[in-house]
Structures are given as structure tokens and as C-alpha cells.
Chain A
């Protein structure tokens, strides 16, 4: 290394003694039982991916049992009840506990180093999301051994899943368990969106961002818009099961198709939510292996954005056999064709990159080639089933089983294996074995094709999916036997992979195998527990290729923030487009609150499943208490500006619209708004299926109560505004009492509004169990009440902070996010009142 100090690097050498030691001290990882307190994303990411792989193995074993049963016609290995649980659990676990968490885990694990942040902005949220997923998922698995596992298929269509046809708790396990895990996925998505937009290294403007970061941004955005539909659906079905609110019961004005719309509005984007990050792995891996920068970076960014949006226009193509008008179906057929174009762009961009370089046939490369083969077949059969008439034959048969496995295994599992073989050197002292890895790739490739290609034929021969047995003589014998053999070949491949992991995976942050592929992106910089020693200035998409001596300079501490400027964990927040440094964000260290809050949240949901309401409420209260404790310490307020090098002085922990917490709150509001939109969709949908709306005999709620509620909501909004004015006023002494009264008043007005709304429904004689009309009105009000409840807690924290002197002047971030959320609650309340009171009265 040269010891001449280059003038363009921000920090001079030698670094002061003790600087590195201080950095290490701040980021030191807890040991022993206190590992549970770790909140650092890189560490949580490891727990996360490990757990996801465990669930993958579990669901894989279920698949082997099913294939063993179907190897021969009229086989009696597994009875119908167990088989129905097996396929329900296999689908559910693979989709919800493996695929989405696995790619989210890769995001949490890779993003901080890929954008050279010390950590993402909400580490405790990630820790909470992980523990909620781990504990909730594990309990969900255990249900299989207690014979209470869900058995109505992974899409849980009512009325089969409803109280009448599944009276036991198995559907509740699914609804509450999965609904809860969705919440954890959303928490992770908020972290990823704000992390990608705001914690990138200085200079890493959007046009220099690694494709994987783009992909994770779109991925997380899709979660924000798709998963609330699922939460809305599960909430409505659980309300129906628990309290007989007839959303899906036809006799009382409900409609089973409402569930299918909500489920698939989530379920179709879900496929792309899984596929896009996997495509992101490939966009990182292929250029490295081909030793050329990615060809068509902009085309891929376009394709990723396009796929993300268009995938929301496809949901009805899972409902082509429900008897919808032909023209409605044809829109979705056309949209399904349109979404094939961005996938084609990505595939040809990778092919072009391979052609531009020279790809060594290493293990990740074999998985990439396997991906291209398998995913292309899955995409082509996808275009086939997008054709409405063909789908009338193929729908709900083994043709679909074949198609979806080609898409998901090709589109997600192969890229994930490529990613594991590719990135293990970053986290392990040894890389995985190339020799074993190639055998794994070949076994998986052969097994997948042997297992799933014949299923196309089984399906066209008339074999429906989800049958625990089939008769001899329909011509399904050979193809089923081949599929079973294939499944066990896959299992052999996975077993060999586990052997490789056991032999070679030796986790280490500081002494990892390093940049064995000679890759160009920042995750391959030398790291410690604090990620990189200093935070580089990025001037290229492949900084390690294009910026000479970058790794050495970063490790020597010559870039920004070579130590800790505040004596705490911290990272640099940059502007979202140009990545200009804006402020230094202090980050929380290890703590018990995320773990305990998650554990008690999981306990609350699982206790609700078995109708243990009082213990569930207690656990919920403890969980909320934990979150309050964590919020209490979250906003430590601005600090004196610090020097991060090169004469750049940055403020610490700012407030206002540039603050990371504001961005996080905006994302949360988008989520809440989408959920609300789904309820409004349900309202309009139920209107279209009911000739009488409101139904004959149901009273319409009086407009005067609604007017009172609206006035109260507006008053709440004004109070939030006034509160902000007081907090930022220059009067001395600050009128603290006034501020506290305004906060309490705003919360009280919002509460009174939702109470007035509820009272008006009750007074009109509406009861939620009487009709779907009543049920959806109460559901909308209940959701408003739920958000208002959250707002009361937030306002309570602000009030208490004010009493404790932890708020005032520039120290007001916790107030600002509360007020922002408070305004949203007002807007939602007003829209709800307008829709439910004016429509369809005014329309007709």
C-alpha cells in the first residue's frame, strides 16, 4: 500500500490509535444467551436464512411423503386426512415460511454490505420481524404433529375453510399464523425500502445502485401493496369463523369469490415477490462469473419495475373457471401476456452478459444455466395457462402443479442455490466445495425435470391436483412413478448440499474467505462486525473493478466515518436519488425488547387460535409494553454535528421530512392504506353481488352521527397541526401544557369519531352477523378503531415523553411520526364515512 496521502480521499493516514478498537467495541456482538438480543442486520440475516432453509427441508420432506403415496395408484401409505394436511402444509410452508422469508433474509443479509452501510436504519424492526417469523413459524409446524394442521389447501377457499365445513381449529392456525407472519414480512419490507433509499454509500446514486438493491426495493414495495390484501382476507375470514360475520356466506349476502379476489390480489404478486429477488441474485452473479459488467443494466431496471407493477394486474387469471364475464377474463389474459415481456428482457440481458464475457462453468454458473432451462419452460407453460380456454382444461390439474414448480424452483430455488454457493465465501472461512456443488446442481437439475415434466402430461391426461389417490387405468401410472423417482433424486441433491454445508460452512465475519470470485460490488469489501472500516465514495456500478485500490483504502479507514463519531452504532444517511450524505443516524445496539415483543406477539396470536382469549390479551399487552419500551429509547434526539472526514460535518439524528423515521412511517401508511383499500374493494364487491344494498330490513345509519364523526376527525387534524406549531414555536418558555393538551385532544377526537361511527351503526339496528352489508360496515369501523388504538398508544408515548422532558424544540421526531400517522387516520376515517354513507345512496 502506498503511504502517500491521496488528496481526494477524505481521511488521512495514519489513523489515530484506538479508533478501530472503539469501532469494534461499539459493534461487538453479544455472546452466549445474549445472542438473542442481537439486532444487527447482518447477524439477523444469517439467523433468517438458516431458519428459512430449515423450513424448506421440512416442507420438502412433506413433499416426499406425498410423492411416495402417489407413486402407485390406489396406494394406502398415507390416508386422505394426513394427505390433505401434507399438501396444505407443503404449499403454505414453502410459500410463506420459506420462499418469501428466504429472499427477504438475503436482502437483510446482503444489502448493508452491498450499499456499504454499517446497518439498515431500523435494526430492531428486523430483529422483531425475524423472531416473530421464527417463533410463529415453528409453532405453525408443530400443528402437523398434533393433527391440527390446516387441511383446506394453501389458498384456504371458503366455504371449505369456514366454520361450517372446518369446525376445528385447523383453519384458525392457518389464518392467524400466516396473517401474523405476513406482518413480519411487512416489517422487513419497511426496513428494506428505507434502507435501500437512504443508507447507500455516498455517490451511489440510483443509476449506480447494484441491481440487487433495485430488485429489493421493488420487492419490498410489492410486499407493501400485496400483503395487506392477504391480511385483509385472513382478518375477514377469521371474523367470519369466530363471530359469524358472513363475508363469504352466500345465504346472507356474502360471496366466496370475495376471498378468491383478495387472496389472489396478494397471491399472484407473491410469485413475482419471490422471483424478482432471485432474478436479482442472477444479475449480481452473472456479471461476476462472466467477468463483464452487466449488459442492459437499464433494461433490467425497467424490467424489474415493469414486472413489479404488471404482476398486480394478473390476479384473476387464477379464477378463469369461476364463471366471470369473458371480457373481464380477457383483460387478465392480456396482462399475463404483457408481463412475459419484462421477463424476456431480463433473460436476454443475462444471455447477452454471458456472451460478452467468458463464463467459467463453476457451481453457481451451473445453477444459472439450470435456471435458464427450467424457468423458461415454466414461463412458456405460464403463457399457455394465461390463455383462457386452455386454462379451463389445465386449471387445478397436475399441469398447473408442473407449471408452478417449474416457475418457483426454476425462478427461485435454483437462483437461491446459485446465491448460496456464490456468497458463502462472504460469511464463511471456507467456500463450499466446487466438486460437490457441481454434483448437487446436476442432481437437482435432473430431479426437477424428472419429477415435474411428467406432471404436465398427468394433468393433460385429466389428473386433478390435491387428490390423495387415483384409480388404475386412466393412464396416470407411468408419469406418477417418474415424478416420484424425480422427487427422490431432488432429495438426494439436497442431502448432498447439506453434507457440503456441514463440511465447509464455517461462519465468520472477520476472517471470511473473501472475494474469491473477484467480484466488483461492495459486499466483497473486507468487513468486520461493523461492516466496512470506512464508508467508500462510489463512482461506478462495479466499484471494486473500476475504483483502483478501493478495498485497501476502505480498510485502512481513508474514506468516510472510519471510526465512530458519536460513540454509538451509527451509519450515514444519504439522499435517495443522488446519495449525498445528509446526516449521521445513530443506531440501537443489542437489547431484549425485539425478542420478547416478538415472542409475546406470537404467543398472543397462537393463543387466539385455541380461543384462549384472556391469556392472548395478556400476551398482547406484554408485547405492546415491550414495543413501548423500545420506542421510548428510539428517538434519542439530535446531537451536535460530527466530522466524518474530508471536512464534511453532518448533523446527527435530524427531524422532519428527511428523517429516516418519516420515510418509514410513510411506508407504513401506504400499507395501512392498501389494507383499507382492500376493505373498500370488499364493500363495492359485495354491493355488486347483492341486488339489495343495504339489504331489505337493514336500517341505514343516520347521517347526523356521521357528520359528527367527520367534524371530530377534522378537529383531530387541526390539533395535530397546532401541536406542531407549539412544539416549533420560539416562545420561551415553551407552552408545554398546551402541547400536551393538544396531543391528548387530537387522540381523543379521533377516538370519539370512531365511537360515534360505531354507535351510528348500532343505533340503525345493524348487526354484523345479520348480513354481509352489516359485516363489512362493522369491519371498516373496526379497522378504523384498530388504527385509532395504535394512535392512542403513540400519542400516549408522546405525552409521556413530554412529561419526561424527552421531547421539545428540534427533538420531536416521535411527535412528527405520530402526527403524520394521526393525519392519515383522519383521512381514512373521512373516506370511510364518505363511501359507506354516500354510496350507493347518492349513486342510485
Chain B
């Protein structure tokens, strides 16, 4: 029976397709949550460092996703999914870079 492996592959297909943006979302929530807590507790100095560090990690992970996506072969649909997953990760990198700029330009906890 090939049914079970096929379904496992299918179940993994969508998360892989969205992997780049899932990374983006995790980084976004982590940074937003950390900033909120840091500003309440007066750790404003740590904010830019944490933002940049989180971005570097997230971009690195997305780089891996891009590489994996572009390496995908197999059926036409499989290649298509790999390509879209890579593009999604690339778009995520753009969003992450945008969202890192404030670390250099904005005073962390000023109102």
C-alpha cells in the first residue's frame, strides 16, 4: 500500500509551502512579545539586540527553506511546490528586513 506515505507527504506539503511565512510569524510574535515585556520592565537596551538577533536567525532558517525548495524535484507538482516555498521564504526575508529597520532608527521604548 502506498496510501499512507502519500498522505504523509501530502500532510507535510502545506506546512513546507508556508514554512517561510511560519518562520516570519514566529519571529514577529517573539519580537513583539519581547518588546512589550521589555518596555514594561525597563530593559530597553536589550530590544535592538534581540530584534537583530531574531532576524538573523529567521533569515538563516529561511535561507535553508529556499535551498530546500529549489532542490525539490520529482513530479511537476512537487517542483512547483518547492519553487513556491522558496519564493514564499524570499518574501518572508523581505518582510523580516523591513521589520528589522526600526531597531536602527527608533528609540526602543519611547512613546
Q: List A residues at the B interface (Cβ < 8 Å).
A: 205-208, 298-299, 301-302, 305-306, 309-310, 312-313, 323-328, 330-331, 333-335, 337-338, 341-342, 575-578, 580, 582, 657-658, 684, 688
Contacts and interface: CB of A to CB of B under 8 A. Distances in A.
Given A325-B109, A327-B47, A331-B102, A688 B10 contact: no
Which of B35, B88, B98: most chain A CB closer than 10 A?
B98
Prevailing SS type, chain A contact patch: helix
Interface residues of B, number: 50
A305 B28 contact: no
B95 A335 contact: yes
Contacts of A335: 28, 95, 98-99
Contact of A577 (B10, B40, B83): B10
A323 B3 contact: no
B111 A323 contact: yes
Contacts of A657: 4, 7, 11
A313 B77 contact: no
Contacts of A326: 106-111
Given A310-B95, A326-B107, A657-B7, A206 B35 contact: no
Contacts of A576: 10, 13-14
B102 to A, nearest CB: 4
B57 to A, nearest CB: 17
A37 to B, nearest CB: 34
Contact of B36 (A310, A328, A578): A328
Contacts of A582: 3
A485 B95 CA distance: 41
A306 B21 contact: yes
A312 B25 contact: yes
Interface string B59-79: 000000000000000011110
Given A205-B76, A302-B88, A312-B25, A327 B7 contact: no
A313 B40 CA distance: 21
Contact of A325 (B10, B14, B35, B101): B35
Nearest to B4: A657
Prevailing SS type, chain B contact patch: helix
A327 B75 contact: no
Interface string B20-32: 0110110010011
Contact of A578 (B3, B4, B75, B91): B75
Contacts of A301: 84
Closest 4 CB pairs between A and B? A207-B80, A330-B102, A205-B77, A309-B21
A575 to B, nearest CB: 6
A328 B32 contact: yes
A338 B95 contact: yes
Contacts of A342: 91
Given A206-B77, A305-B18, A305-B21, A331 B99 contact: yes
A327 B24 contact: no
A335 to B, nearest CB: 6
Contacts of A577: 9-10, 13, 77-78, 81
Contacts of B88: 302, 305-306
B31 to A, nearest CB: 7
Interface string B26-62: 0010011101110110000001000000000000000
B81 to A, nearest CB: 6
A844 B78 CA distance: 48
A684 B37 CA distance: 10
A299 B7 CA distance: 27
Contact of A327 (B6, B18, B106): B106
22 contacts: A206-B80, A298-B87, A299-B87, A301-B84, A305-B88, A309-B22, A313-B28, A325-B35, A325-B39, A325-B110, A326-B106, A326-B107, A327-B102, A327-B106, A331-B31, A334-B95, A338-B95, A341-B94, A575-B6, A577-B10, A684-B33, A688-B40
Contacts of A324: 111
Contacts of B14: 576
Given A207-B77, A330-B106, A338 B99 contact: yes
Contact of A658 (B7, B32, B36, B108): B7
Contacts of A305: 17-18, 21, 84, 88
Given A306-B91, A323-B111, A657-B7, 7 more contacts: A205-B75, A302-B84, A302-B88, A325-B36, A325-B39, A327-B107, A327-B108
Contacts of A333: 102
Contacts of B33: 684
B84 A325 contact: no
Nearest to A209: B77
A482 B47 CA distance: 48
B89 to A, nearest CB: 10
A297 to B, nearest CB: 9
A334 B3 contact: no
A266 to B, nearest CB: 16
Nearest to A688: B40
Contacts of A323: 111
Contact of A298 (B35, B78, B80): B80
A666 to B, nearest CB: 9
B10 to A, nearest CB: 4
Nearest to A198: B10
Nearest to B77: A205
A324 B32 CA distance: 12
A38 B88 CA distance: 41
Contacts of B102: 327, 330-331, 333-334
A582 B6 CA distance: 11
Contacts of B83: 298
Contacts of A328: 32, 35-36, 39
Nearest to B111: A323
Nearest to A576: B10
Contact of A575 (B7, B101, B111): B7
A577 B95 CA distance: 28
A649 to B, nearest CB: 14
A313 to B, nearest CB: 5
Contacts of B78: 577
Contact of A309 (B13, B24, B76, B111): B24
A527 B7 CA distance: 31
A342 B101 CA distance: 20
Which of A299, A309, A657: most chain B CB closer than 10 A?
A309
Contacts of A312: 25
Contacts of A299: 87
A658 B3 contact: yes
A684 B40 CA distance: 13
Nearest to B29: A313
Contacts of B103: 327
A499 to B, nearest CB: 44
Nearest to B3: A658
B98 A337 contact: yes
Nearest to B98: A334
Contacts of A684: 33
Contacts of B75: 205, 578
A514 to B, nearest CB: 31
A335 B25 CA distance: 11
Contacts of A206: 13, 77, 80-81
